[in-house]
């Protein structure tokens, strides 16, 4: 269903002089094997790190060079390590520059869970529990509303290893209406009238689109005009 591609590669892993391999401050002996970046079973071969096999989130072992393998909606590809003699340090964040934010969960100090960018993660099970709405409530799977009536949908999948907040347009109901009720769901860019105002569902939720003028015409949001009494009016 989800075509997410998790490419397993470890080009950033650095080999070092002699027969040992060094990653950051860790030194590995020749022929020693260990799990690197969670998915890679690697070994040190005469100063170079080689991938022996990969292991998925669920524990399935993939030989190097297998065709893309899909499990729990995640697509795995187990590629051999690329040579990267020209780097001299193991980067702290392998996703650097890719637009991803990687955080080390705040699980110290006995925290049971931590929140980051609207997602709640359990420190006990190491799984994503769901999303957090602006009131601080946990949404495990379903609709929720953020500021200015923007409608979102929280999805947790891959057995709690992945989650997504999807944009679903706007919620046109009141506080007592159920967010799951589709009659209040308004697709993005819908424009409608309420009284003499025109409203629109945009990137920032439900906002005024046009204001009425005395002469029966309308004016766009962001506009200002002086009325017959020279009073400044702003449509916003």
Ligand X SMILES: *[C@@H]1O[C@H](CO)[C@@H](O)[C@H](O)[C@H]1NC(C)=O
Min. distance of Cβ 29 from ligand X in angstroms?
A: 14
For the chain, state the CA radius of gyration: 26
Report how many residues bind ligand X under the rule CB under 6 A.
11
Q: Which of residues 79-108 bind ligand X (CB under 6 A)?
A: none
Q: Write the DSSP assignment of the chain as a string of letters.
A: ---EEEEE--TT----STT-EEETTEEE-TT-EEEETTTEEEEEETTEEEEEEEE-TT--EEETTPPPEEETTEEEEEPPPPP-TT--S--S-TTTTTT---------TT-SEEEETTEEEETTT-SEEEEE-TTS-EESSEEEE-GGGEEEEEEEEGGGTEEEEEEEEEE-S-TTS-TT-GGGEE-TT-EEEETTEEEEEETTEEEEEEEE-TTS-EEETT-EEE-TT--EEE--
53 or 122: CB nearest ligand X: 53
132 or 198: CB nearest ligand X: 198
Per CB under 6 A, the segment of 10-18, 49-57, 77-85, 131-139 that binds ligand X is 49-57
Rama region for 178: left / alpha / beta (φ>0; ψ in -120 to 50; rest)? beta
- Is 190 near ligand X (CB under 6 A)? yes
Q: How many CA atoms lie within 13 A of 144 on its CB side?
A: 21
- Is 33 near ligand X (CB under 6 A)? yes
Min. distance of Cβ 185 from ligand X in angstroms?
A: 8
Q: Which of 20, 37, 41, 77 binds ligand X (CB under 6 A)?
A: 41
Min. distance of Cβ 46 from ligand X in angstroms?
A: 16
Q: Which of 20, 37, 53, 66 binds ligand X (CB under 6 A)?
A: 53
Q: Which of 194, 203, 220, 234 binds ligand X (CB under 6 A)?
A: 194
What is the C-alpha to C-alpha distance for residues 105 and 127, in angstroms, rounded to an integer?
11
Q: Which of 6, 19, 55, 165 binds ligand X (CB under 6 A)?
A: 55
- Is 186 near ligand X (CB under 6 A)? yes
- Is 196 near ligand X (CB under 6 A)? no
29 or 106: CB nearest ligand X: 29
8 or 186: CB nearest ligand X: 186
Min. distance of Cβ 61 from ligand X in angstroms?
A: 5
Site residues (vs ligand X, CB under 6 A): 33, 41, 52-53, 55, 61, 172, 186, 190, 192, 194
């Amino acid at each position: 269903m989800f075509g997410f591609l998790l490419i397993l590669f470890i080009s950033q892993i650095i080999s070092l002089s002699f027969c040992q391999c060094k990653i950051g401050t860790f030194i590995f002996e020749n022929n020693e094997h260990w799990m690197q970046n969670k998915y890679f079973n690697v070994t040190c071969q005469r100063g170079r790190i080689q991938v022996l096999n990969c292991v998925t989130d669920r524990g399935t072992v993939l030989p190097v060079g297998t065709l893309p393998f899909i499990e729990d909606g995640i697509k795995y590809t187990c590629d051999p390590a690329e040579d990267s003699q020209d780097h001299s340090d193991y980067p702290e964040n392998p996703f650097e520059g890719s637009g991803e934010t990687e955080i080390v969960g705040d699980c110290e100090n006995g925290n049971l869970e931590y929140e980051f960018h609207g997602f709640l993660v359990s420190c006990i099970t190491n799984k994503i529990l769901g999303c957090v709405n602006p009131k601080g409530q946990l949404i495990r799977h379903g609709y929720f509303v953020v500021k200015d009536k923007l409608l979102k949908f929280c999805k947790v999948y891959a057995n709690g290893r992945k989650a997504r907040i999807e944009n679903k347009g706007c919620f046109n109901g009141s506080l007592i209406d159920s967010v799951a009720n589709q009659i209040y769901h308004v697709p993005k860019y819908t424009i409608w009238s309420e009284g003499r105002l025109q409203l629109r569902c945009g990137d920032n939720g439900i906002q005024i689109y046009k204001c009425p003028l005395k002469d029966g015409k309308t004016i766009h949001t962001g506009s200002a005009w002086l009325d017959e009494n020279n009073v400044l009016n702003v449509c916003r």
